[in-house]
C-alpha cells in the first residue's frame, strides 16, 4: 500500500514536533510513516492538541511508524575489514517498491549510506559503485544506474535523496560517470545509447533557464558571466527551512542577514558539502552563507563530463548535429573552467564569485576535479599536486579545506570521495608517489578506527588519528557506503 507523505501535508503538526525537540534528531520526524490517512491524523491533532494532558510525543508515536529509522550495524565478532564490508553490502541493501511516508519508490534495490541515512543518495552512490565493482557486485551497480534513470525520467533529475522533501534539489551530477563505471565493469559500450535520453534529460535540468539569460545574470542553476560565458551553480527551488534540519535552520537564521538564507543553505546541500567555510562570505559564520553567488569548480567539471559524454553518445548514434552541439558546449566549458577557476598564483582551482568577478578566498579540495577528469594541463596538475602535498595531505588522509571552522566539510576532516579523487588525480598525471601516500594515509586511518571500534565511519579526522572526526549537525555515522566503496577500490589499486 502506498502512503506517500509530503511534509507540507502535515505542516502544523510537523512544525510543532520539530520545535518541541521531542526527538534528538530532526530527521526522525521526516522519516515517519503515517499509520492512518493524513486527513484523519490532522483532524485528530487539531481536536486534541489543546486538551488537558495532551502529550505530543505519545500522539506522534501512536499515529506514525518509526521502524527502521536507524540502522544498527553492531557486531559480536569483529571480522577482517574486507569481509565486514562484503557483509555490509547486504545489510545496507534496501527495496522501496511502493511509496512509504516521505520515501520515494524505486524500481530496483539500492544501497543506503548507513547510520541515520536509510534512503538512496545520489552522489554517494557513485562511490558505493566503486566498491561494488571491486566486490564483483555488478547487478547492484546496474540497479543504481536504473534507479537514477527512473528518478530522472520521473522528476527531471536525481533528487538529493529519495524522499519527497528533497524534490527541490539534486546533488553533484555523477550519472555520466556512473555510466563510465558500469561500461568498464560490463565491457558494454551500448550502455551509453541505452541511457542517452536520460543523459539529455539530466542536462536539461541543470541548464534550465539558460535561454533567456543575459550576461552578468543568474537563473536557477545557470550563470552567465559579464563576459558572456555560461557556468553553473548549485541551487534549490525552495527558500524555507529544511524539514530534516528544521529547527537548526530557524536558529541559524538571523534577520536581516540574507533574504535568500534558506535557499543558500539548501544550495550548499545540493553540493553535498553541508556545510563548509567554502560557502561563507566571511569564511567563518553560517549566517554569511552565499552559495548562490558562486560558480563551483566541481559542478562545472562534472557538467563538462556530461557534455562530453553526450557528444560521444550522439556520435555513437550518428546524430551529427547533436554531436557538434554538445562537443562545442564541452569545448566552451573547458575554456571557461580554465578562465574562471584556475588561480596560477595560488596553485589551486577556486570557486568563482559571480558578483565580485573574482576567485573566492577558500582553498578547497574541489581543486582536484580538473585533474580527476583530465582537464588540467601538466603545468596546472603539477602546481595542484604541490598544493595537495603542502596544504591538504595529513597523516590520516586529504582534508577538504585548509580552514578549521567547526563545520564537518572543513579541516581537519577527511571524506572518502576525495581520497579516491586525490589518488586518481595524481595517477592521471604520473605523480605516483603522492597517489600512493594519499591511499596509504587514509586506508591506515580507516583500518585503525575499524580495529578500535568495529565501525566504518562517514568521515575521519586526518590530523589527529587518535580521535574520531566531528563537526556537523549530527554525530559521525557508521556504515558507511562511500567509505566502504572507496576503501575497497583503493586497496585494489
Listed residue (373, 374, 353, 371) closest to 362, CA to CA: 353
Of the listed 274, 290, 298, 307, which one is catalytic? Answer: 274
For residue 244, give the DSSP letter. G
Of the listed 119, 202, 410, 458, which one is catalytic? Answer: 458
C-alpha cell of residue 266 = 539548501
Active site residue 458: yes
Residues 303, 232 contacting (CB under 8 angstroms): yes
Backbone angles phi, psi at 96, to 5 degrees: -140, 70
Alpha-carbon Rg for the chain, nearest whole angstrom, is: 22
Sign of torsion, CA 110 112 118 124? negative
Residues paired with 222 in a beta bridge: 219, 232
Query: CA 160 → CA 56, 98, 109, 226, 465, distances in Å?
Result: 30, 19, 18, 30, 31
In the block, residue with C-alpha cell 577558500: 362
Residues 262, 253 contacting (CB under 8 angstroms): yes
Listed residue (8, 394, 409) closest to 172, CA to CA: 409
Active site residue 31: no
Residues 175, 198 contacting (CB under 8 angstroms): yes
Listed residue (150, 157, 156) closest to 172, CA to CA: 157
- Helix crossing, 297-316 with 175-186: angle to 10°? 50
In the block, residue with C-alpha cell 560558480: 295
Strand positions, DSSP E, 371-469: 393-394, 397-398, 413-415, 459-461
Rounded-to-integer distance, Cα 109 and Cα 107, Å: 7
Rounded-to-integer distance, Cα 478 and Cα 456, Å: 5
Listed residue (276, 259, 416, 463) closest to 360, CA to CA: 276
C-alpha angle 255-256-258 in degrees, rounded to nearest 5: 100
Report the catalytic residues: 274, 458
Amino acid at each position: 500500500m502506498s502512503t506517500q507523505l509530503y511534509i507540507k501535508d502535515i505542516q502544523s503538526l510537523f512544525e510543532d514536533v520539530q520545535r518541541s525537540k521531542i526527538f534528538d534528531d530532526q530527521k526522525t520526524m521526516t522519516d515517519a510513516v503515517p499509520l492512518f490517512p493524513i486527513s484523519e491524523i490532522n483532524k485528530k491533532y487539531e481536536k486534541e492538541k489543546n486538551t488537558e494532558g495532551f502529550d505530543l510525543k505519545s500522539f506522534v508515536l501512536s499515529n506514525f511508524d518509526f521502524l527502521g529509522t536507524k540502522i544498527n550495524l553492531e557486531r559480536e565478532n569483529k571480522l577482517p575489514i574486507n569481509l565486514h564490508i562484503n557483509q555490509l553490502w547486504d545489510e545496507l541493501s534496501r527495496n522501496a517498491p511502493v511509496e512509504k511516508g516521505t520515501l520515494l519508490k524505486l524500481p530496483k534495490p539500492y544501497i543506503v549510506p548507513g547510520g541515520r541515512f536509510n534512503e538512496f543518495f545520489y552522489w554517494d552512490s557513485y562511490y558505493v559503485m566503486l566498491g561494488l565493482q571491486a566486490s564483483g557486485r555488478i547487478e547492484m551497480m546496474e540497479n543504481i544506474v536504473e534507479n537514477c534513470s527512473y528518478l530522472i525520467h520521473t522528476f527531471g533529475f536525481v533528487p538529493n535523496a529519495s524522499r519527497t522533501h528533497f524534490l527541490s534539489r539534486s546533488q553533484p551530477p555523477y550519472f555520466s560517470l556512473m555510466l563510465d563505471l558500469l561500461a568498464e565493469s560490463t565491457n558494454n559500450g551500448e550502455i551509453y545509447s541505452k541511457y542517452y535520453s536520460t543523459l539529455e534529460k539530466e542536462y536539461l535540468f541543470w541548464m534550465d533557464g539558460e535561454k533567456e539569460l543575459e550576461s552578468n545574470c543568474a537563473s536557477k542553476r545557470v550563470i552567465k558571466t559579464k563576459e558572456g560565458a555560461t557556468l553553473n551553480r548549485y541551487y534549490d527551488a525552495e527558500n524555507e527551512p529544511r524539514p530534516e534540519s528544521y529547527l537548526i535552520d530557524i536558529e541559524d537564521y538571523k534577520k536581516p542577514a540574507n533574504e535568500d538564507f534558506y535557499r543558500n543553505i539548501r544550495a550548499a546541500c545540493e553540493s553535498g558539502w553541508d556545510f563548509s567555510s567554502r560557502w561563507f562570505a566571511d569564511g567563518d559564520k553560517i549566517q554569511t552563507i552565499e552559495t548562490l553567488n558562486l560558480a563551483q569548480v566541481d559542478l562545472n567539471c562534472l557538467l563538462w563530463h556530461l557534455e562530453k559524454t553526450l557528444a560521444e553518445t550522439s556520435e555513437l548514434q550518428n546524430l551529427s548535429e547533436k554531436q557538434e552541439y554538445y562537443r562545442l558546449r564541452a569545448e566552451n566549458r573547458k575554456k571557461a573552467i580554465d578562465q574562471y577557476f584556475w588561480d596560477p598564483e595560488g596553485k589551486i582551482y577556486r570557486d568563482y564569485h559571480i558578483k565580485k568577478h573574482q576567485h573566492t578566498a577558500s582553498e578547497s579540495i574541489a581543486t582536484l576535479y580538473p585533474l580527476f577528469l583530465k582537464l588540467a594541463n601538466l603545468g596546472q596538475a603539477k602546481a595542484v599536486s604541490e598544493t595537495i602535498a603542502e596544504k591538504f595531505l595529513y597523516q590520516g588522509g586529504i582534508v577538504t579545506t585548509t580552514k578549521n571552522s567547526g563545520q564537518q566539510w572543513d579541516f581537519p576532516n577527511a571524506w572518502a570521495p576525495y581520497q579516491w579523487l586525490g589518488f586518481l588525480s595524481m595517477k592521471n598525471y604520473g605523480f605516483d608517489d603522492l597517489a600512493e601516500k594519499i591511499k596509504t594515509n587514509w586506508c591506515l586511518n580507516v583500518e585503525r578506527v575499524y580495529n578500535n571500534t568495529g565501525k566504518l565511519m562517514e568521515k575521519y579526522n586526518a590530523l589527529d588519528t587518535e580521535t574520531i572526526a566531528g563537526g556537523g549537525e549530527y554525530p559521525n555515522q557508521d556504515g558507511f557506503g562511500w567509505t566502504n566503496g572507496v576503501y575497497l577500490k583503493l586497496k585494489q589499486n
